[in-house]
Amino acid sequence: MIVSSPREAIAVGATALGSPRGPGAAVPNPAIVLSTVRRLERGEALYSEGEAAVAPYLVLEGVLRVLVTSAAGQVRLADLAGPGDMLATAVFEGRPHAETVVAAHSAKVAQVDLGATLLRPAGRIGVGVTLGHQVKRSRELADDLGLPMGARICRILARLARRLGSACDGACELGAARPRAAGQQTARTEWRRLPFSLTHDDVALMAGCARVTATRVLGELKAAGALVGHRGDYALVPGALDAAADEYVYEAL
C-alpha cells in the first residue's frame, strides 16, 4: 500500500540520512532525494518482472525477496534486499524490470527522485556507492558457485547474518538450549538473529540446490552449533558458519 499519512510519508525533497550496512550501524548516505514512501505487508509485491521501471526505490525498513526467472523458466531467489539497498535499477537503462520484488515481512521503501538526486554531486556519489555495495554482493554470490554445496550455503547464511541480522542471545531469544560446536563455547555477542522468516525453500533457491539438500545442510549446521531456530526463525553465528564452510571444502578435496 502507498502511505499518505503525513507522519509516514517522506516529503518530496527529503534526503536519505543513512544507509545501514550491518546490525545497528548506519553509514551516511549523501543526498539521495526521496519522495513517496510505500509500506508493504508480507507477501506483497513492490513490482513484477516485465513491468515498466518508473523510478528506483530505496529500502528503509524490512527485507524484500528479489526473484528472477531463469532461461529454463525456474524462479530463483537472487537476493534479499535490506535497509540501504536500491531496487528497480532497470530504470537506469530504460528497460522493464528484470525481477519481481516481494516483501519477506513488513517493509518500508521510498521512491527515489532520480532527477533531483543526480543533479547533486553528493547524490550521484550516494547512488554509486549504494549500487557498488550491491554489485559486490552479486560478485560474492557468483564466486560461491565453484564451492561444494554445503560451503555455498554456509557463506550465504554468514553474509545474511552479518548484513541483516541483529545481535542476540541465540538460546534465550529463540527459547532453545544453546548448542555448542565441538570443544567450543559460542560467545553471546556472536549470535545474529534474522529479522524475517527464512525458509528451507529460500536457502535452496539462493544456493541453487534441491530443498532436501538445503534441509540436510541446515540440520548439520544446527548439530554443529552454527545456528538455532525452527520454522524460519533463526539465529546464526557468522564465524561458525565461516568455519563450517571451510570444513565442507576440506571434505571435498
Determine the average pLDDT of the residues in 61-74.
90
- Highest mean pLDDT out of 87-101, 128-142, 163-177: 87-101
Summary mean pLDDT of the chain? 83
> What are the tens digits of pLDDT across the range 27-39?
445 578 998 999 9
Does the structure show a pLDDT above 80 at 26?
no
**Of 71 and 156, the one with more pLDDT:** 156
Task: Specify the CATH number for 147-252; select among 1.20.1070.10, 1.10.3720.10, 1.10.10.10, 3.40.50.2000.
Answer: 1.10.10.10
pLDDT of residue 46: 97
Angle, CA 50 vertex, CA 46 and CA 53 arms, to 5°: 60
Which DSSP symbol is given to 30?
T
First to last CA, the chain: 51
- Highest mean pLDDT out of 22-31, 72-81, 149-158: 149-158
pLDDT of residue 200: 94
pTM for this prediction: 0.79
Does the structure show a pLDDT above 70 at 183?
no
Q: Are 133 and 82 in contact (CB under 8 A)?
A: no
Question: Where do runs of H (alpha helix) occur along 80-148?
Answer: 114-118, 121-143
Point out the least confidently predicted range of 90-94, 110-114, 151-155, 177-181: 177-181
Determine the average pLDDT of the residues in 94-101.
95
> What are the tens digits of pLDDT across the range 128-150?
999 999 999 889 888 888 899 99
Per-residue pLDDT band for 170 (boundaries 50, 70, 90) equals: low
Per-residue pLDDT band for 188 (boundaries 50, 70, 90) equals: very low
Per-residue pLDDT band for 60 (boundaries 50, 70, 90) equals: very high
**Of 168 and 157, the one with more pLDDT:** 157
Per-residue pLDDT band for 10 (boundaries 50, 70, 90) equals: very low
**Of 220 and 76, the one with more pLDDT:** 220
- Residue ranges of the domains in the chain? 14-142, 147-252
Determine the average pLDDT of the residues in 186-195.
73
Per-residue pLDDT band for 189 (boundaries 50, 70, 90) equals: very low
Domain 14-142 -> CATH class:
mainly beta
Q: Are 91 and 54 in contact (CB under 8 A)?
A: yes
Which of 91, 93, 113, 109 is closest to 32 using CA atoms?
113
Determine the average pLDDT of the residues in 147-159.
96
pLDDT of residue 72: 81
Q: Residue for cell digits 540440520?
A: 219
Residue 93 C-alpha cell reads as 537503462
